[in-house]
Structure 1
Amino acid sequence: MAPPAADTRALNELIASTLALLKQFPSSLSPSNMTSATTIANPPNPLQVLRDSATLLKAHTTKVSLLAINKPFTPSAITKILLDLSGTCLPAIMSAVQVCEQEKSTWGSLMGKEIGVRILRTFKEMENLLAELKSIADGNSAPARRDSLSSTGVVWESCDALIELEKVGIAGLAVKKAEQYRDSIKDAIEELQEWREGSDPDNEGQADELLDSDDEGVDGDAESLDDIFNAANSMPKDRPELRQLVEEAEGKLKKIVLLHTALVKRRLKTFKASEQAHVEALDAILLHLKTAQSGVDDLAGSFYDLDDNGAKSELAKCVDEAKSACTIARLSWEGKEDEFTAWSKKWEEAIG
């Protein structure tokens, strides 16, 4: 028996308004909207707000998914859950971003940006689930149980990512980011080593059909063409100065990796957000580390383009960014010299 038309119409209208609310969130993150937002009196801990609202959102999406795949389809029951979801969970989640911006001296830029990214993912996955729900409400066949629960599972994962922020806090997030940047640089070092040694398993032992010696006019240009087409796979053997520069870059990048490890152990894991200056310093350290990591990609690109000067410039930028992070972290959070202080001086001398 088909559900009453009025119930189905009410559900579709609610789905449309909820989708509009979800799509509105990215624009609410703009600086102008943030600045003009109403100040929240006695703001709560935004990480706790995210934890509680994301936990409730998981429960609601589970109920909606089960109602969607079980017969008879009851739009009125789903409407009731969606009303609660759109009236409680979603506004609460969005308020966390506003609190972070309002209390930036406490939560910093790193946490605020991360919250925004994770909420965007959650809302995007909710849009997908609601689109699936609308398809069912419009009379299309319900998806297989496994598929529907899989969609709900993706929403769950994004909610778990929001809940995680309350568990790790600012220090834990900083550690996670620094380790990600460090691992990315490690990968770049390995790729540069492979490129320097010419060990490209995908092309090893394979002739380039574009350089077939039977082709007219190729014989005289084969060597130069080989450099052009294979530069991205292996370093030309007749560029000793480039090899030396790559080896120098590898050495400096390894020292930057060591800096990440030392910072994680001696500064990030010991961080306590007691003062605004400390929060700002932590943000600055992570920004320099991120910029250095991004610069490593440009460095590798310069090498693959056989651009010596470009590689030297990019390497200098990476080193400068790492040095800046080291300088900010030189003293402990209590403003005193410690083991890291002494180590940092030796590190700067070593990296040159």
Structure 2
Amino acid sequence: MSKELSPVFDTTLTLIGQFQEALATPPPAPTEPAKDADALPLLTASSSALKAHVTKLSLLAITTPFTHSAVATILRELNEAVLPSLVTAALLVTPTQYTKAFHSEVLVLAKTAFTELHGLVREVRRVGEGKDQEKKDGVKERDVTKSEKDAVMLATGRVWDACDTATDVAGKGVVGFVMQRVEQWRDLVRDAVEEIEDWDPEEEGDEFFDEFSDEEGKGADDDDSKDDDEDETAALEQHKKSTLRFIKPLALVYPAIINNRLKNAGNAPLAAEGGVKKLESLMLNLKAIPDDVDEAAGALYEADFEKSTQYLQKIRKCATQAVELVALPWDAVDSKDDTTADKFSTWAKTWLKVIDEVSKPTGKITE
């Protein structure tokens, strides 16, 4: 490697390592929110710049002749401007202003971009070293091999993917990020509801009876066994109906919150007093529900009605808290000020009454 280019490669790889360490141990959030309104535009700009630079770098690497000065120029631009901007943008996305979940997501994306860039820089350096060796051997410079080209392009594609993902997340912003997560949890709940609907307790009972009837033989207790089996199937069917009767209204929480409190909300949730904390709590509650629904369904399939009811209690608590958190618009000053109520506020009151009503048959699904 030439005396001009080798130190630049070393600097790039060293900086990448240092920036990854900085992202792994970000400084504590300030007690007073900083004015970091430019964090997401900076993240978008730096991600786009990184993608553009690695595109140039990869083309220089696979094109004959291998131009040391051009490669050095790209690397210096990365070192002096692009990489510092990317790490700065990621660190400016603080949990106090952007939620812990969004903060963690951006850190992961930035670290991924640095990791993939590290791999690309090593591949480009490997190509350059091969070219230098040819010169030393007095061999005419050849085109890069297919394996070299594939390695460079594969590494480049990975950096592109990391940059595109970071740009997409920055473009959607915190509320868009939260909405995407809520949509994912909504789909999980819908899938669980469909699975419960498709489950047939009678077929399961028949399989159990068929499996053991021949081994046990036919005797005087056959009729009693069949009666017991029918009673168990009837109990499963009843609990299936009551579970669905409870979970279906719950599943409506997700689209209602998405359409009325997240979609087209802009920066209202972040600008509102306590808005970030409210988003945090909203996510925690809505995230917990799909797992609890799965647990309740699993207990139902095993005829463990007490365990199933316990999880339904947890589901109701999380769903109720989520609805109450956003019952009023984001700009409502007082959580009890009904003068700011809107259409969703009315829906929330009705929904809470419905949940109370559907909980009555079991006598157990209460907070």
What is the TM-score of this pair, normalised by structure 1? 0.75
User: Residue in 2 aligned with 1:309?
Assistant: 306
User: Residue in 2 aligned with 1:233?
Assistant: none
1:319 to 1:138, Cα distance in 2 relative to 1, 3 A:
farther
1:87 to 1:281, Cα distance in 2 relative to 1, 3 A:
same
1:237-268 superposed Cα distances (whole Å, 9 cap, x missing partner): 95443343333333333222211111111111
Paired residues for 1:67-146 under 5 Å:
67-101=60-94, 104=96, 106-139=97-130, 141=145, 143=147, 145=149
Instruction: Give the SS at the match of 1:34.
Output: coil
TM superposition shift of 1:159? 1.4
337, 342, 349: which is aligned to 2:341?
337
Asked whether the equivalents of residues 8 and 76 of structure 2 are also in contact (C-alpha less than 8 Å), the reply is: no
Paired residues for 1:269-288 under 5 Å:
269-271=263-265, 272=268, 273-288=270-285
TM superposition shift of 1:62? 0.3
1:57 to 1:40, Cα distance in 2 relative to 1, 3 A:
farther
Q: Unaligned 5+ residue runs, structure 2?
A: 131-143, 217-229, 333-339, 357-367
User: Residue in 1 aligned with 2:335?
Assistant: none
Farther off after superposition, 89-98 or 315-324? 89-98
| Alpha-carbon separation, structure 2, partners of 1:250 and 1:278 | 33
Given the alignment of the two structures, is residue 164 of structure 1 paired with residue 139 of structure 2, yes or no? no
User: Residue in 2 aligned with 1:252?
Assistant: 246
TM superposition shift of 1:46? 0.6
User: Residue in 2 aligned with 1:224?
Assistant: none
| Alpha-carbon separation, structure 1, partners of 2:48 and 2:257 | 33
Given the alignment of the two structures, is residue 186 of structure 1 paired with residue 190 of structure 2, yes or no? yes
TM superposition shift of 1:274? 2.3
Asked whether the equivalents of residues 109 and 165 of structure 2 are also in contact (C-alpha less than 8 Å), the reply is: yes
Amino acid of the structure 2 residue aligned with 1:253: I
Asked whether the equivalents of residues 64 and 78 of structure 1 are also in contact (C-alpha less than 8 Å), the reply is: yes
Q: Unaligned 5+ residue runs, structure 1?
A: 201-206, 208-212, 222-235
| Alpha-carbon separation, structure 2, partners of 1:181 and 1:199 | 30
| Alpha-carbon separation, structure 2, partners of 1:60 and 1:279 | 35
TM superposition shift of 1:218? 12
User: Residue in 2 aligned with 1:227?
Assistant: none
CA RMSD across the alignment: 3.6
Aligned residues with identical type, % of pairs: 26
Paired residues for 1:203-242 under 5 Å:
220=215, 238-242=232-236
Asked whether the equivalents of residues 115 and 162 of structure 1 are also in contact (C-alpha less than 8 Å), the reply is: yes
1:43-90 superposed Cα distances (whole Å, 9 cap, x missing partner): 451101101111110111101111121122334432332232133222
TM superposition shift of 1:192? 3.0
Farther off after superposition, 246-255 or 322-331? 246-255
Aligned length: 316
* Higher radius of gyration, 1 or 2: 2
Farther off after superposition, 47-56 or 147-156? 147-156
TM superposition shift of 1:13? 2.3
1:144 to 1:315, Cα distance in 2 relative to 1, 3 A:
farther
Farther off after superposition, 301-310 or 184-193? 301-310
314, 337, 351: which is aligned to 1:347?
351
| Alpha-carbon separation, structure 1, partners of 2:49 and 2:106 | 17
